Amino acid sequence: MNADDFGLTSGVNRAIIELHGVGLVTSTSLMARAGATEEAIGLALAAPALGVGCHIVLVDGEPVLPPDQIPTLVDARTGHFPHSLNTFLARLLTGRIRAAEVEAEAGAQIDFLQKRGVRLTHIDTHKHTHVLPPVLRPVLRAARARGIHAIRNPFEPKWSIHATPRAHWLRTVQVSALRWLEPFCCRIIEREGFATTSGTVAVIGTGILDAAMLRSMLARLPAGTWELVTHPGYNDADLERVRTRLRASRDGERAALMVLREFPDIELTSFASLQPHSP
């Protein structure tokens, strides 16, 4: 069970560590440049059983590298990544983003956390930008060079989509449409010798995940190793100052995760337990 956005705010950090303390959150994804990253690093170092990945940010955030070293990734006026995922995608798919800059910035974010003593178990990306091969390949190169060999499989399986009938129709269309990229991305991941899961559950429920929805997904969970991706937190004053659509939902997700206790046969683990493929 992986909680994203570790380091975003103190309230998000608090929720993740509390849920880890009661045995529900086994893995989290840490942002290298966020408002409460320093606090999150200290909490991670004090919780050695918690698997910690690097949540690589290429959209809606601040880079680790100086903006003049990654000009195709940042807004020249602000020095930050574009706020809009659509803006990032338009620039990527028209060849205006250099793969070498993606690799350099991904590597810098990993380096920042590793140099602080965080033992990283895996990588994933903010807003799942590595569903696209032009992002996936350089991100994998950056991770492999730093001894990381596990990555999120960001594709939601059909059974999980069908188990979430209350998801917004547009979100359902988006998540379903992206599935055509799964064979290509999984071949790249396997060829590069990385470990991953059978798929990711609850991407479609992002922003609306509640106890009933999670119970429906877990009741249909087939054999395999699946990542349950969640965004728990406390909706406090710090979160109000952050640009995010996941605000009111964080309290609900935090409470919904208690449903995991109803399924004792599901083994909770982290990316540290995955075995990489032989390239």
Query: Looking at residues 269-273, what average pLDDT do you find?
Result: 95
The pLDDT assigned to 249 comes to: 66
The pLDDT assigned to 195 comes to: 97
CA atoms within 13 A on the CB side of 98: 9
The pLDDT assigned to 63 comes to: 98
Output 257 or 241, whichever has higher pLDDT: 257
Confidence of residue 236 (pLDDT cuts 50, 70, 90): confident
Output 174 or 64, whichever has higher pLDDT: 64
Tens-digit pLDDT profile for residues 103-123? 999 999 999 999 999 999 999
For residue 81, the one-letter residue type is F
Identify the H or E element spanning 55.
strand 51-56
The pLDDT assigned to 93 comes to: 92
Do 239 and 9 touch, CB atoms closer than 8 A?
yes
Exposed e or buried b for every residue in 207-238, given b needs 16+ CB within 10 A? bbbeeebbbbbbeebeeeebbbbbbbbbbeeb
Could you identify the residue written with the tokens 């799942």?
A: 128
Output 208 or 219, whichever has higher pLDDT: 219
The full set of domains in the chain, from first to last, is 2-271 (3.20.20.370)
Q: Is it the case that residue 187 has pLDDT exceeding 90?
A: yes
Output 275 or 222, whichever has higher pLDDT: 222
Q: Is it the case that residue 243 has pLDDT exceeding 80?
A: no
For residue 100, the one-letter residue type is A
The pLDDT assigned to 165 comes to: 78
Q: What percent of the chain shows pLDDT beyond 90?
A: 80
The pLDDT assigned to 240 comes to: 64
Confidence of residue 43 (pLDDT cuts 50, 70, 90): very high
Mean of all residue pLDDT scores within the chain: 92
- Global pTM? 0.93
